[in-house]
Structure 1
Amino acid sequence: MKQLNKAFIEGRKADQSMSYPKEDWDRLPPKVLQFGTGVLLRGLPDYFIDKANKAGVFNGRIIVVKSTAKGKAEGFDEQDGLYTICVKGVQDGKEVDEQIINSSIEKVITAAQWEEILTYADHPEMKIVLSNTTEVGIVYDKHDYLFALPPASFPAKLTAFLYRRYKYFKGDTQAGMVIVPTELINDNGSILKEIVLKLAHTHQLEEAFINWLESANYFCNSLVDRIVPGKLSYAEQEEMENRLGYRDDLMIMAEPFRLWAIQSDSEEVKKVLSFSEVDEGMVIADDIKKFKELKLRLLNGTHTFSCGLAVLAGFDTVKEALANPAMETFVKGLLFKEIVPTVLAQNLPEVEVNSFAKHVLDRFRNQSLDHKWINITLNYSSKMEMRNVALLNGFAKHNGNSPEYMALGFAAYLLFMKGNKRIDEVYKGYTVKGYYPINDEQAEYFAQLWKQNEGDDVVDKALKNQKLWKTDLTLIPHFSDRVKHYLSELQAKNVLQVIISVTGEMRSV
């Protein structure tokens, strides 16, 4: 079977059932410098850029910097930067099964080739920097040296690149760049800017450069949301390659849902990021707090209230749980009867809230994604505080009583956290399916709490622990009583029976 590359594309008539590159795809100029080769970048920002190129809108390609200095370009050279995105899942209640040959990447360069990378700073059309170097990538390293080949950290590499550009264009304010980090930290653009300025100061770079950094460049906060599992399983890869008629070592899977929200009120930013025009999943807005809130409460919050219950009920994956009528009814009730009304009370647009919630269900039902519940329980306690305490308080404030679905989800969380340290030094709980790991910073606290107390006392002490929740959750009317009730039920009965009793009762209300 032939490998996907430029020669294969030119020698094959375009298949109308999939998205092929436009004729002049390999002659478009480099306009984007991207730090990172990860699947999220390839499945979201690069997806938007490729779509815009095919529509004749952006007309630019990407130079990718491989984060590590060692190794090769991971097969990109052999495939001339081409790779397939398989988009599979449910969108607006309909099955989606699309294959897209992405031609947005011109070249992948390892950081060891730093001098070559710096030459792209001299290109007038190179106006954009993207990054996803993981959450620990945007950090200040006082030992980093800007003039190393290469500098160690991503912020230092970026500072060195911008300094080269400043020098080459003699401080021309028109040579500034739009920098959009996609790392999953709050205010990622603002934090990156602070570090870049700090590096410039500590290296005693000229004041004129620092002024240019601040006045000519745009560091934009952004939020990304798309599940991109990455490489297909061996069986899926083989089936897809036979179906498409070519071999692709860079093929990735992605869900249909996509959101890239970029914070900026600048018309210049919108002009430079012209690829935002071709897809409703990309948004440039003055304030992206709304999008953060929707994701945090509707998607992440639903995950966190459901994951312990799902594990205790014996479900391994999200799609498996949503295929069960009882669990599906619980998730829908939690989302639409309790979380959505609580979020709407914050005066967020009703149409957008309901649309996002419906997308959440579509994403949960995606049969092409093996999203494991046990992975969602990672750092369970901190996620419960960050995502859901505001929902509990918000529901009580606007309804005057305790949320039933949330109370059941919280009771399941407490029971999930009932574990003991095993021989391998990992805290583990137990269900009918066997042991499961409790990968949580509060695992020891809960192990001791359960060892020394019975159910009702566990609830009282856990809810009163302000170190966990930054508030006393027993102050929520009737919440403690409802959690105690559901914890007792979960300990005494089959978990699915408890879920059915709750969802049945709530349907009759």
Structure 2
Amino acid sequence: MRNAHGDGATDDTPTIAHLGVGAFHRAHQAWYTHRASVVGQPWRIVAFTGRSSRQADVLRARGGRYTLVTRGADADELSEITSIREVHDGADQASWRAVVSRPSTRVVTLTITEAGYRLNGRGRLDTAAPDVAADLGSARTDATAPAATAPVRLAAGLAARRASGAGELTVISCDNLSANGAITRAVVRAAAAEWDPTLVDWIDAHVTFLSSMVDRITPRTTPADIDEVERRTGIRDEGTVVAEPFSEWIIEEPSPAGFAGPRPAWAQVGVRFESDLAGFEERKLRILNGAHSLLAYQGLRRGFDDVATAFADPALRDLVEEYWVEAAASCRLPPSELAAAVAATRERFANARIGHTLAQIAMDGAHKLPHRIVPVLAHAVRAGGEASAPASAIAAWAVRSGQGDDAVERLLDGVADSAVLPAMRAAIARGIRRLESDPVGAVRGGGAI
């Protein structure tokens, strides 16, 4: 068990304020920051929970330290992560404002989930939502009032920073949303505009919002994991988090001056900085997430429960390999980058010790497939191929959901090139006919969609 540095942080130590200190943050951004503080200037994280106080209580019990279990295919590696130095209940608005307004706080990071941005159907801040409206109403009369919603909480923190004269700040979204930095900027500006238009001007002049793409599978920590950590270390660590060996973090930095101030030595520990994230987001959605969805819907039909066992099935493995050829052809990144992504994903899928469940992946397919699979199918039919692999993912989802042609049509609503729609529909219909005549389809008929 490694502990790379001690606890010498002070109020002058460069600080990251993080909102949403769940398992993924601790397996990802906090892990990168821990390692960056070993090779470069030490930084600390002051973390806030999203809603529940339980995680704050668990982490405070060990002064923010926790054990990261890196679950390889053959063994676990244990590391003690010490980058989180303070932990607060997300409801502690006074501490949030105080931390964001410190001059030493130079970066804010977020893992608040897609729902946390409180977007309406038009992709804007949902000011009509009761909790958003309540927070905004309170802020109009008292900027220090508690806020339950992240956009208002962020705006309140920035108002406190303006009042303190602490200067410029960089905000980085680490959630699975395309253009997440632009989304964060939009909802924070919208929240600020509701009670103080001059705050919007200050935000525009002093706050930089950056997008990022994150990736690391972080399965749920079990009591057995905590018991094993105690057996190996002698410490009962209820804050233990488990993650796969693979990790990726790409931050979009449109110019060399993208950050509003200093940053940790992230680049020295594997974080990439790119001028445009679009190609990397496309790669992740189509090669990783698309193959996940294909395995989920086809694997559940065949009675498999997790990614590794489904991927070990020769027929499914061949189908996924065929899909990867078509997915890579649809992506804009160089072939070498895509080949490396496929190779890494192949290794990740084979890691049986992660236990990534197909039922979890299969949830919410109606929202996921238009981004993961539909563009691959459109590209394949446009190129004149049969497109059977991507079509089979949609076909398996349609059969599993039992929603019929209307549901498939809704998946295709966003296809801009109407000329390819007939061929796409035909490919999906062929896939459905094959599945309906396939006896393994009776193994598990319905379920998560």
Q: TM-score when scaled to structure 2? A: 0.85
Corresponding residue of 1:340: 328
Corresponding residue of 1:405: 389
Note if 1:367 corresponds to 2:312: no
Corresponding residue of 2:237: 248
| Matched residue type, 1:102 | I
Give CA deviations for 1:148-186 in whole Å, capped at 9, x if unaligned.
4422322222222222222222xx7xx110011223323
Q: CA deviation at 1:188?
A: 2.2
- Alpha-carbon distance between aligned partners in 2 of 1:239 and 1:75, rounded to the nearest angstrom: 18
* Partner secondary structure for residue 330 of structure 2: helix
- Relative to structure 1, the CA distance from residue 397 to residue 71 in structure 2 (aligned partners, 3 Å threshold; closer, same or farther) is closer
Corresponding residue of 2:338: 353
- Alpha-carbon distance between aligned partners in 2 of 1:186 and 1:486, rounded to the nearest angstrom: 30
- How do 1:373-452 residues align onto structure 2 when only pairs under 5 Å count? 373-398=358-383, 400-418=384-402, 446=403, 449=404
- Alpha-carbon distance between aligned partners in 1 of 2:53 and 2:77, rounded to the nearest angstrom: 34
Q: Which moved more, 1:482-491 or 1:107-116?
A: 482-491
Corresponding residue of 1:425: none
- Alpha-carbon distance between aligned partners in 2 of 1:370 and 1:305, rounded to the nearest angstrom: 17
2:179 to 174, 187, 209: 187
Note if 1:219 corresponds to 2:209: yes
- Alpha-carbon distance between aligned partners in 2 of 1:495 and 1:69, rounded to the nearest angstrom: 43
Q: CA deviation at 1:109?
A: 1.3
8 Å CA contact 1:31, 1:125 repeated in 2? yes
- Alpha-carbon distance between aligned partners in 2 of 1:416 and 1:303, rounded to the nearest angstrom: 16
Note if 1:65 corresponds to 2:43: no
- Relative to structure 1, the CA distance from residue 193 to residue 466 in structure 2 (aligned partners, 3 Å threshold; closer, same or farther) is closer
- Alpha-carbon distance between aligned partners in 2 of 1:116 and 1:259, rounded to the nearest angstrom: 31
Note if 1:98 corresponds to 2:88: no
* Partner secondary structure for residue 73 of structure 1: helix
Q: Of the two, which has the highest radius of gyration?
A: 1
Q: CA deviation at 1:40?
A: 1.1
* Partner secondary structure for residue 267 of structure 1: coil
- Alpha-carbon distance between aligned partners in 2 of 1:159 and 1:476, rounded to the nearest angstrom: 43
- Relative to structure 1, the CA distance from residue 466 to residue 85 in structure 2 (aligned partners, 3 Å threshold; closer, same or farther) is closer
- Alpha-carbon distance between aligned partners in 2 of 1:416 and 1:241, rounded to the nearest angstrom: 42
- Relative to structure 1, the CA distance from residue 330 to residue 210 in structure 2 (aligned partners, 3 Å threshold; closer, same or farther) is closer
- Alpha-carbon distance between aligned partners in 2 of 1:79 and 1:256, rounded to the nearest angstrom: 24
8 Å CA contact 2:68, 2:80 repeated in 1? yes
Q: CA deviation at 1:85?
A: 0.6
| Matched residue type, 1:373 | L
Corresponding residue of 1:120: 99
8 Å CA contact 1:31, 1:128 repeated in 2? yes
8 Å CA contact 2:16, 2:46 repeated in 1? yes
The root-mean-square deviation of aligned C-alpha atoms, in Å, is 2.8
Corresponding residue of 1:154: 150
| Matched residue type, 1:382 | H
**Which 5+ residue runs of structure 1 have no aligned equivalent?**
1-17, 419-445, 450-457, 497-509
* Partner secondary structure for residue 373 of structure 2: helix
- Alpha-carbon distance between aligned partners in 1 of 2:350 and 2:250, rounded to the nearest angstrom: 24
- Relative to structure 1, the CA distance from residue 363 to residue 142 in structure 2 (aligned partners, 3 Å threshold; closer, same or farther) is same
Give CA deviations for 1:262-298 in whole Å, capped at 9, x if unaligned.
2223434456223322222x22222111111011110
- Alpha-carbon distance between aligned partners in 2 of 1:326 and 1:70, rounded to the nearest angstrom: 46
Q: CA deviation at 1:484?
A: 4.8
Note if 1:81 corresponds to 2:64: yes
Give CA deviations for 1:124-146 in whole Å, capped at 9, x if unaligned.
22111111122222234243233
1:236 to 212, 225, 228: 225
- Alpha-carbon distance between aligned partners in 1 of 2:253 and 2:392, rounded to the nearest angstrom: 40
Corresponding residue of 2:190: 198
- Relative to structure 1, the CA distance from residue 203 to residue 241 in structure 2 (aligned partners, 3 Å threshold; closer, same or farther) is same
Note if 1:109 corresponds to 2:88: yes
Query: Aligned residues: percent identity?
Result: 24
* Partner secondary structure for residue 85 of structure 2: strand
Q: CA deviation at 1:318?
A: 0.8
- Relative to structure 1, the CA distance from residue 267 to residue 487 in structure 2 (aligned partners, 3 Å threshold; closer, same or farther) is closer
- Relative to structure 1, the CA distance from residue 466 to residue 63 in structure 2 (aligned partners, 3 Å threshold; closer, same or farther) is closer
- Relative to structure 1, the CA distance from residue 319 to residue 350 in structure 2 (aligned partners, 3 Å threshold; closer, same or farther) is same
Note if 1:54 corresponds to 2:38: yes
| Matched residue type, 1:75 | V
8 Å CA contact 1:128, 1:179 repeated in 2? yes
Q: CA deviation at 1:412?
A: 2.6
8 Å CA contact 2:378, 2:420 repeated in 1? no
8 Å CA contact 1:381, 1:468 repeated in 2? no
Q: CA deviation at 1:462?
A: 7.0
Note if 1:329 corresponds to 2:318: yes
8 Å CA contact 1:221, 1:263 repeated in 2? yes
Q: TM-score when scaled to structure 1? A: 0.75
- Relative to structure 1, the CA distance from residue 143 to residue 266 in structure 2 (aligned partners, 3 Å threshold; closer, same or farther) is farther
- Relative to structure 1, the CA distance from residue 264 to residue 486 in structure 2 (aligned partners, 3 Å threshold; closer, same or farther) is closer
Give CA deviations for 1:221-252 in whole Å, capped at 9, x if unaligned.
22221111242x22333233212332211111
* Partner secondary structure for residue 273 of structure 2: strand
8 Å CA contact 1:402, 1:479 repeated in 2? no
- Alpha-carbon distance between aligned partners in 2 of 1:482 and 1:155, rounded to the nearest angstrom: 42
1:165 to 149, 156, 161: 161
Corresponding residue of 2:128: none
Corresponding residue of 1:435: none
| Matched residue type, 1:152 | A
- Alpha-carbon distance between aligned partners in 2 of 1:307 and 1:483, rounded to the nearest angstrom: 17
8 Å CA contact 2:14, 2:42 repeated in 1? no
Q: CA deviation at 1:83?
A: 0.3
- Alpha-carbon distance between aligned partners in 2 of 1:484 and 1:116, rounded to the nearest angstrom: 56
